[in-house]
Structure 1
Amino acid sequence: MRFQVLDIIFNPPHPVTGEEVAPSDRLNRVVELAVLAEELGIDSFSVGERHAGPVLSSAPTVVLGAIAQATDRILLSTGVTVLSLLDPIRVAEDFGTIDQLSRGRLEIVIGKGNEVLQYPLLGLDIAKQYEYLTENYELLKLLISEENVKWVGTHRPSLEDATTLPRPYDGPFRIWHGSATSFQAVELAAKWGDPIVTANAFQPRENYKVLIDHYREQYLAYGHDPSKAYVGSGSGGLFLADTTEQAIEEFRPIYEGAVAQADKRKHDPKAVGKSTSFRTIEEAVDRGPALVGSSERVAEKIIDYHQSYGHDFQSVSVNHVLDFEQQKDTLRRFAEEVIPLVKAELSTTLWTSADKDRAKGFTAVD
């Protein structure tokens, strides 16, 4: 099993105290946490992207550029690059730059995003989000793989003899597909032989498992090598204490306050995956993907979910409203106490020397 830290850079007021973190502090903490993750031997650090709501990840490539300069080893990623909203030319240019700055430490995760307000904000039709995603992905794949590209599509002007610069560091960087609520994303990944990352955040595990199973079935149907059908998994947040009971009680006001904040958005009840299915902290811990508990209990939960998903890397997010020293302590404890327990039970070829598609500049020990 491999491990990743994901920060979508949410920045709403504290759900209990109302305290706000200055954007400059919040953004600099992301870079500092990435440096710490590298020091702790965690494999990957991922930055989200959103363009609406109380979130500071509207320019993830800028943040990743800062992290690239502050680190030397850790793999850089995204969670997710909202490719439905973006011009593939600019995406190829921006991520080619990060791949060069990091000397080949980049892999990205693409998707259509989980924020409905992004589409009207950027003048796009949300009803066409999967059309945009498919076309933009296929063009991006072409642009990072070839030069002098000739291309004709539906949603942007045609291209003639187009070459994006800078080129990727050492061949095209790997693209993963984010999977949360629909079959379209996993079918696109399976068609092209790419890996996927299941959101595993708001819904019961069965809702995610059906998409993972469908991905693997389609991956084989398209004739791809099953050893490359890697799967990553998100989680419903991370909080550790000496006992699971202590962790639940300490995290309760933050979790349930965040649920109340989300309720104010008044999402359509039929919009699956926009808000959590687990209303209380007990539900989130007992039946949901929240990694809240003792180190031993959290390790057991990751291993238990692996029985359902067969995933190769686990992504975790430390809640941004915690005191920053507590955030760092939580990450240290996860690296020192949880990761060894999981690695003793689960192995993968992902990001090892056997993984020929891994980022060329990534130097994790097998």
Structure 2
Amino acid sequence: MQFGIFTVGDRTVDPTTGHEPTEHARITAMVAIAQKAEEVGLDVFASGEHHNPPFVPSSPTTLLGYIAAKTEKLILSTATTLITTNDPVKIAEDFAMLQHLSGGRVDLTLGRGNTGPVYPWFGQDIRQGIPLALENYALLRRLWREEYVDWEGQFRTPLQGFQSTPRPLDGVAPFVWHGSIRSPEIAEQAAYYGDGFFANNIFWPKEHYMKLIGYYRARFEHYGHGLASEAIVGLGGQAFMRTKSQDAVNEFRPYFDNAPVYGHGPSLEEFTEQTPLTVGSPQQVIDRYAAMRDHFGDYQRQLFLMDHAGLPLKTVLEQLDILGGEVVPVLRKEFARNRPANVPDGPTHASLVAAAERAARGESLLTDTAEPALTEPSTRV
């Protein structure tokens, strides 16, 4: 089980002080947060991709490449990489380069984002969001797995004998998670290829995500990648902790009330009841998240959003001390307890290389050949 944090990189005014960090301060804070995540024993740091204020991470691979040089063990990921508005050729080359620089400590989450204007900014039509996601990933996958690619599709110029460079480290592409909060087509895509499915799980009630993840698991098994229980699932989450629960509530409330994403909407109490946001003691967070597999089954990755809504860096680092020191060690034990032997661990470069070697020896019946074009799922969640 992998635990980590993800950041959306918002540059938000601290409602308790009126201080707004500069872009430079926010970017350097994200680096410090990643280093702290490794220091406290977390496994993953993931950065979002945004091209509009108040967000700063417009170039996640640049950020992650710098963090790779500052860390040794941390898996570097995205939350998300915009598969709809980035050129698949550039994604293929950027993440292969990041693989080499990080020694394989990289994977990525593909998504469509939640900012409508980003489509015309990059010359695309938001009404083509799903077809873009399907076609662009089909090309990206080939670019990583085939030495020379001939390609002709709907949304980009054709390729003839194109070779992306550098080639993936050890001949193994980065692991791909497909991220979605509402689209069964994306769950279908993840299942079809046997990739991971990441449900952000921070805005809506668990019943919504249970349906979406259940659909992904069923289709994963349908396509012959293994049992539904063996599908690769990741979840997002949020927490704010203090030793005393009421202290956590009192401290976090002004940040929640003024957050650009969910501020001025449901109350803190309503939101924590309806979503995985947990504001209270470390034990309350442990209890809440240990119960996640009762709803979603055994899964592979749990990420937390910790540095948003104007929280000062000092507070975020304190939260990571609590998360890494008091919460995650207990959750590791809880998730390991009675975990079926057939449920895979979270993907790493080493595990992917080992799987490729087994496949080369003929020990796997799965194949990436003969992949037909994906269409809209036949079953709705």
When structure 1 is superposed on structure 2, of 14-23 and 218-227 the one drifting more is 14-23
Deviation at 1:123, TM superposition (A): 2.5
SS in 2 for 1:212: helix
Describe how 1:138-287 pairs up with structure 2 within 5 A: 138-170=138-170, 171-226=172-227, 228-235=230-237, 237-258=238-259, 261-262=260-261, 279-287=266-274
1:356 aligned counterpart, secondary structure:
helix
Distance 1:81 1:345, change over 3 A: same
Which residue does 1:338 correspond to in 2? Answer: 327
**What stretches of structure 1 of length at least 5 have no aligned partner?**
263-274, 361-366
| SS of alignment partner, residue 334 of structure 2 | coil
Please state how far the C-alpha of 1:16 moved relative to its aligned partner.
4.9
Bigger shift: 164-173 or 78-87? 164-173
**One-letter amino acid of the counterpart of residue 244, structure 2:** T
Is 1:312 paired with 2:312?
A: no
Instruction: Quickly say closer, same or farther: Cα 1:358–1:21, change in 2 above 3 A.
Output: farther
1: CA distance, partners of 2:354 / 2:289: 25
- Between the aligned partners of 2:183 and 2:311, the Cα distance in structure 1 is 32
Shift of 1:7: 0.9
The verdict on how the C-alpha distance between 1:276 and 1:194 changes in structure 2, with shifts beyond 3 A counting, is farther
Are the aligned partners of 2:105 and 2:348 in contact in 1 as well (CA < 8 Å)?
A: no
> Residue deviations 1:22-77, cap 9 Å, x none?
11111111111111111222111111101223110111111011111111111110
Which residue of 2 is the match for residue 363 of structure 1? Answer: none
Shift in Å at residue 349 of structure 1?
A: 3.7
Alpha-carbon deviation of 1:95?
0.8
Amino acid aligned to 1:315: L
Per the TM alignment, residue 291 of structure 1 is displaced from its structure 2 partner at its CA by 2.7
Find the counterpart in structure 2 of residue 350 from structure 1.
345
- Cα deviation for residue 353 of structure 1 reads 8.5
Amino acid aligned to 2:54 = P
What CA RMSD, in Å, does the superposition of the two structures yield over aligned residues?
A: 2.1
Q: 1:122 & 1:88 partners in 2: Cα distance?
A: 13
Q: Secondary structure at the match of 1:85?
A: coil
Q: What is the CA distance between 1:329 and its match in structure 2? A: 1.1
Instruction: State the identity %.
Output: 34
Taking structure 1 as reference, are residues 314 and 359 closer, same or farther at Cα in structure 2, changes over 3 Å only? Answer: farther
Distance 2:348 2:88 in 1: 30
Instruction: Check whether the contact 1:31–1:67 (CA below 8 A) recurs between aligned residues.
Output: yes
2:61 is aligned with 1:65: no
Contact 1:174 1:359 in 2 (8 A): no
Cα drift, residue 17 of structure 1: 4.1
Q: Which residue of 2 aligns with 1:122?
A: 122
TM-score by length of 1: 0.89
- Structure 1 window deviating more from structure 2 (310-319 vs 156-165): it is 310-319
What is aligned with 1:269? none
Q: Partner of 2:179: helix, strand, or coil?
A: strand
342 and 27 in structure 1: CA distance in 2 versus 1, 3 angstrom threshold: same
Q: Which residue of 2 aligns with 1:87?
A: 87
Q: 1:81 to 1:276 in 2, by over 3 A?
A: farther
Moved more, 241-250 or 289-298: 241-250
Tell me, in whole angstroms, the C-alpha distance in 2 between the residues paired with 1:157 and 1:277.
45
**What is the letter of the counterpart of residue 343 of structure 1?**
R
Q: Is the 8 A contact 1:152 1:158 kept in 2?
A: yes
TM-score under structure 2 length normalisation: 0.86
Contact 2:7 2:305 in 1 (8 A): yes
Q: Alpha carbons of 1:224 and 1:101: their partners in 2 closer, same or farther (altered >3 Å)? A: same
Question: Amino acid of the residue matched to residue 131 of structure 1?
Answer: P
CA contact (8 A) 2:241 2:280 kept: yes
